[in-house]
Structure 1
Amino acid sequence: MMPREMMLRELSGHEDPHPVYERMRARGPLILDGGMWLTTSYELSNRILRDRRFGVRYTDGTYPNASEVFPESFLEADPPDHTRLRRLSAPAFSPKRIDEYRPRVEKIAEALLDKGEFDLIADFAAPLPIAVISDLLGIPDEDTTEFADYGKLVAASFDGGVSEEMMRASEKVLALFTRLIEERRAKPGDDVISSLVAAEAERELTARELMGTLLLLLVAGFETTVNLIGNGTKALLDHPSQWAFLKANPDVAPDVVEEVLRWAPPVQLTSRIAHEDVGQIGVDQEVNIIIGAANRDPAVYPDPNRFDVMRVRKPEHLAFSSGIHYCLGATLARMEGDVAFRALAKRVPDLRQAGPVTYRDSVVIRGLATFPVSRS
């Protein structure tokens, strides 16, 4: 078994991975475990993520843990390819475009909360971002239900391994995007797929890069937000004083978003590869950055395991990574989280958990699979 797989196995099945993280932290800021470097240190994690001597590929250009199912995206690319592909997608996530999306997000959030008992994930946290990313990509309404399932399975591929269900989903999502690409070639619209198809026509990216970019935008536009909303609502209900504070002061919703991202980040770990010798780390050695641990580093955050929505927001958490791979969808996720928490506080102030939750079967992505709640 490979070192990364060993680490993932150790972490799998833990509803709360932090005891495992703390055992790692006790061994020092940078440890070598089974031939693999690990860091739980905020300072070191942030430094590595920003250091251009590290990348996401080996020096021979190959990518570790490459998906057997999905084409790679700029998330798996180093400059100059990363720079080129990210630039083509960036306009869809500009602050101006995000401001334009907000009224629609608010309307969707309010409509989704008009029910009694419901599952917070299936009936609120998932439909909200999927409606937005569907608009952004120009996905027809009849395809949006299955589109959410595709997003979950694409994200599951981050943990490695390929299931039959994942293979079937990959065929469906690739077929959907292939159909939409052909439609946009024939009749362009005002959406991301159309702009990327135009870029492909100008030879600014290849057909495979186009598909990989669309898959990444699906995950970036869906996975981060659904888990932000789910993890955040669970944290609020588990901390009644914080929930009461939000209800009394809805304008602190952006602060809630930031504390949730610090305390329970949707993406728990990432990795970088040294492109030259950097201290103890040799060329082509991989460093696994435990974001979930770095965000609770006591050297940076006082009383780090305490959930406090009014915590001083410096330094910025690493939930969206750092450096050139800083999450392209961060502004969108923040806006959707803000809208979601305001809507919950205003429209369902007596919200309570109505049964046991279940967690996603993932180590890289941390979030809830089911979360039964009630209005009273």
Structure 2
Amino acid sequence: MTLRDDLALGSRIAAMRAGGLALALRGDPVARLMHKPWRRDPYPTYATVRTPRRVLRSRTGISAVATHELCEQVLRDRRFGVRLADGRAPFAPEEGPSLLEPIDLSLLNLDAPDHTRLRRLAQPTFAPRRLERYREIAETITADLLDRAVARGRFDLVRDLAAPLPITVIARLLAIPEVDTERFTAWGRALGGALDGVRSVAHAHELARTTTEARALFESLVSRRRVDPGEDVVSQLVGALDEGRMTIDELVSLAQLLLVAGFETTTNLVGNAVRAMQTTPGQWEALVAEPGLAAGAVEETLRYDPPVQLTARIAHEDLELDGVPLRCDSGLLVLLAAAGRDPEAHPDPDRFDIAREQTSPHLAFSGGAHYCLGAALARLEGEVALRMLAERLPGLRTVGRTVPKTATVLRGPRRFPVAA
């Protein structure tokens, strides 16, 4: 990017931020979801959007749905996609390459037929027989991380367990020879932050560096797997690459997606689960008394305070949703976290209960064609981490202040000091 590009981007970001804040201060709930004062606890804003039980029009130009019924309907409706109707990425520049193009090529931001093709190629990664192997890996890694934590007495739940666990599992999944947890965490945070859009010129440059470094790593892995293939994901995808069923850009983007989605989802899931259990009387004690409730704790967290709070869809034609007309290429926010607190789908929704019988499926992993491919792995990692925490550290308690992320799309603690 040139200096002129930097200045233009900086001006655009500043203008959008100022305009959005002005709308937020006037009470626009969609605008409020984009700004820190309301992001720290977004659930009152979600309730504001959900209460009328209809499509909310926002002066930001983006509409929103927040009931379980409408969110599920949109996620399954093939008249919506994640790109513009003509296949372009939303907010892409009219001329020249987009800074986010490596991310745009991933499954998160592709529609059929490319999405269908790439998803089919990636699906064997999460086959049941592989998942059982991942469970053994996750248990071994968690045991090692907890050994170190117990030896220290005090530790940071995010830094010392919730982040390195999925990073190490993904590194094994991709057969990355040397795991640099700090570097991969930085990559995951940079790319995950892009889900909220480019925040600043510095963030744009950080994204450019991250995608360049990640591309170099994965291209190197591709070269190695061509010479010495194994049972890992990259080896599997190299075959598809050589057969012309995917491009190198698509392979790199898919690997990046596994890194970002796998890291952020599990890290936030574990952090949100422990935070909810520590702040809800009796819940941590219930898990300690019966560690088998860990799977239930995962599902309740995914409903009550999910790692991914919302997703977006774009109308691919002029249509009507619940009586509200939407024009082709208009944007719609699907508030997944709001749907999880919908009293018509989840009785007493603001109560956190790891023994809850889920009367309706939550939407934490989205739905329809874009249902999270790694949902089973995230559940597995979360269940292993929570069960082993309860077994090994029954006296776990929060010490000091938990520092939350202040993002719009991803929610979880950034720092979480605890004592064993």
Where 2:326 maps in the other structure, the secondary structure is: coil
For 2:99 and 2:32, how far apart are their aligned partners in 1? 20
Match of 2:58 in 1: 33
1:11–1:17 contact (8 Å) kept in structure 2 = no
Deviation at 1:110, TM superposition (A): 1.7
Q: Distance in 2 between matches of 1:8 and 1:192?
A: 40
For the pair 1:47 / 2:73, whether they are aligned, the reply is yes
Q: What secondary structure does 1:31 align onto?
A: coil
Deviations 1:128-177 (A, max 9, x none): 11111000011122434412221111111111115133333232222211
Aligned positions, number: 374
Of the three residues 77, 85, 95, the one matched with 2:118 is 85
Return the TM-score normalized by structure 1: 0.95
SS across alignment from 1:273: strand
Q: Deviations over 1:258-312 (max 9, x none)?
A: 0001111111111111122321222221111111111111121111111111222
Bigger shift: residues 261-270 or 103-112: 103-112
Deviation at 1:361, TM superposition (A): 3.4
Q: How many Å apart are 1:208 and its aligned residue?
A: 1.2
1:198–1:220 distance in 2 versus 1, CA, 3 Å: same
Name the amino acid aligned to 2:282.
Answer: S
Mapped contact 2:123–2:373 kept (Cα < 8 A): yes
Code of the residue aligned with 2:386 in structure 1: it is F
Q: What does 1:326-345 correspond to in 2, within 5 Å? A: 326-345=371-390
1:274-353 alignment, distance < 5 Å: 274-279=315-320, 280-353=325-398
Query: Where does residue 216 of structure 1 map in the other structure?
Result: 257
Over residues 210-250 of structure 1, what are the superposed CA-to-partner deviations in whole Å (9 max), with x where a residue is unaligned? 11111111122211101100111111111131111111111
Q: How does 1:149-168 map to 2 (within 5 A)?
A: 149-161=186-198, 163=203, 164-168=205-209
Q: Match of 2:360, SS?
A: coil
Q: Sequence identity of aligned pairs in percent?
A: 47
Whether the 8 Å CA contact 2:296–2:354 is kept in 1: the answer is: yes
Structure 2 counterpart of 1:97, from 85, 107, 130: 130
Q: Is the 8 A contact 2:33 2:42 kept in 1?
A: no
Which TM-score applies when normalising by structure 2?
A: 0.85
1:103 CA drift (Å):
1.6
Of 62-71 and 232-241, deviating more is 62-71
* Structure 2 residue aligned with 1:367: 412
Aligned partners of 1:30 and 1:41 also within 8 Å: no
Gaps of 5+ in 2: 1-14, 21-29, 93-97
| Runs (5+) with no aligned partner, structure 1 | none
Say if 2:99 and 2:208, in contact at 8 Å, map to a contact too.
Answer: no
Provide the residue aligned with 1:110 in structure 2: 143
| Structure 2 residue 112 is matched with structure 1 residue 68 | no
Tell me how far apart the structure 1 counterparts of residues 54 and 393 of structure 2 sit (CA, whole Å). Answer: 43
Q: Is the 8 A contact 1:230 1:368 kept in 2?
A: yes
Say if 1:99 and 1:263 are closer, same or farther in 2 by CA, change over 3 A.
same
Q: Assess, with a 3 A threshold, how the Cα gap between structure 1 residues 165 and 125 changes in structure 2: closer, same or farther.
A: same
> Which residue of 56, 80, 84 maps to 2:82?
56
Letter in 2 for 1:250: P
**The residue matched to 1:141 in structure 2 has which SS?**
coil
**Preserved CA contact (<8 Å) 1:247 1:345:** yes
* Corresponding residue number in structure 2 for 1:15: 40
Cα distance in 2 for partners of 1:192, 1:291 equals 29
Superposition CA RMSD, Å: 1.7
Partner Cα separation in structure 2 for residue 8 and residue 368 of structure 1:
22
SS in 2 for 1:111: helix
Aligned-partner residue type, residue 68 of structure 1: L
Rounded to whole Å, the distance in 2 between the matches of 1:318 and 1:16 is 19
